[in-house]
Amino acid sequence: MNGEKKKKLIKSIKIDVDKCNGCRACEVICSAHHAGPKYSSNNPARSRIRVIRDPLADIYVPVYAGEYAVAECAGRDKYTIDGKEYKECAFCRASCPSRDEFKEPDSGLPLKCDMCEGEDEPLCVKWCLADALVAEEREEEVEEGVAQEELEIGLEALANKYGLQTIMDTVARMSKKD
C-alpha cells in the first residue's frame, strides 16, 4: 500500500544500564503521572517503564514499554555482557503474554510509553538523577497509509485478545480520566 510520505518526529530514550542504580524513581513518577486523576497514586505495576533488577548480580535494566505482542517469541537468548548474565527477556520492550510487565493491572490491557505527551521532557528522564536515561529525537519519513494500517492491525489484535466490548469500555473509562 502506497501512502503519502510525511516527516515524523521519533522520540526515544537512550538507556545506560551501567549508570542505573535500581532506585525505581522512574517507575514511581511514570505510574503517578498516568494515574487517574494524575498524581493521585503511584503503583509501579501501572508504570510504562520497569526496572529489571537482580541486585546480587548488580543488574538493573530500565526498560520502557514498546509494542504489544500477540504471541510469545521463539528466539530467546541469554546475554552475557561485561561478565553479567542477563535473562532472556531483560531487554525486551514488548507487552507480551509470557510475562507480567506492561499490563494494566485492572484490565490486563497492554501499556505503552507515550513519551509523557504534553510534558516538555519525559518525566522518567527528568527524575533519573543517575542520568541513566537520556531523551533523544530524530526525524523519519513515514507513509501515512502505513501508520493507519498499523493502527488497524493493533486494534484488531486487541479486540481478538480481550473482546471488542472490553476495549470499548476501557477507552470510555480512559476518556473520563483527566
Contacts with ligand SF4 by CB under 6 A lie at: 20-26, 29-30, 48-49, 51, 60, 62, 64, 113-116, 122-124, 127-128, 130, 132-133
Pairwise CA distance, residues 78 & 70, whole Å:
22
Smaller CB distance to ligand SF4: residue 120 or 139?
120
Smaller CB distance to ligand SF4: residue 21 or 143?
21
Smaller CB distance to ligand SF4: residue 89 or 159?
89
Helices (H), the chain: 25-33, 123-127, 144-162, 164-176
The residues near 25 (Cβ < 8 Å, ≥ 6 apart) are: 127, 128, 129
DSSP secondary structure of 130-175? T--EEEEEEEEEEEHHHHHHHHHHHHHHHHHHH-HHHHHHHHHHHH
Residue with cell 476495549: 167
Pairwise CA distance, residues 178 & 168, whole Å:
18
Quote the least distance from Cβ 124 to ligand SF4, whole Å.
3
Smaller CB distance to ligand SF4: residue 130 or 159?
130
Quote the least distance from Cβ 132 to ligand SF4, whole Å.
4
Quote the least distance from Cβ 95 to ligand SF4, whole Å.
13
Quote the least distance from Cβ 160 to ligand SF4, whole Å.
26
Smaller CB distance to ligand SF4: residue 77 or 120?
120
Quote the least distance from Cβ 79 to ligand SF4, whole Å.
19
CA distances (Å), 64 to each of 2, 7, 87, 111, in order?
31, 24, 17, 10
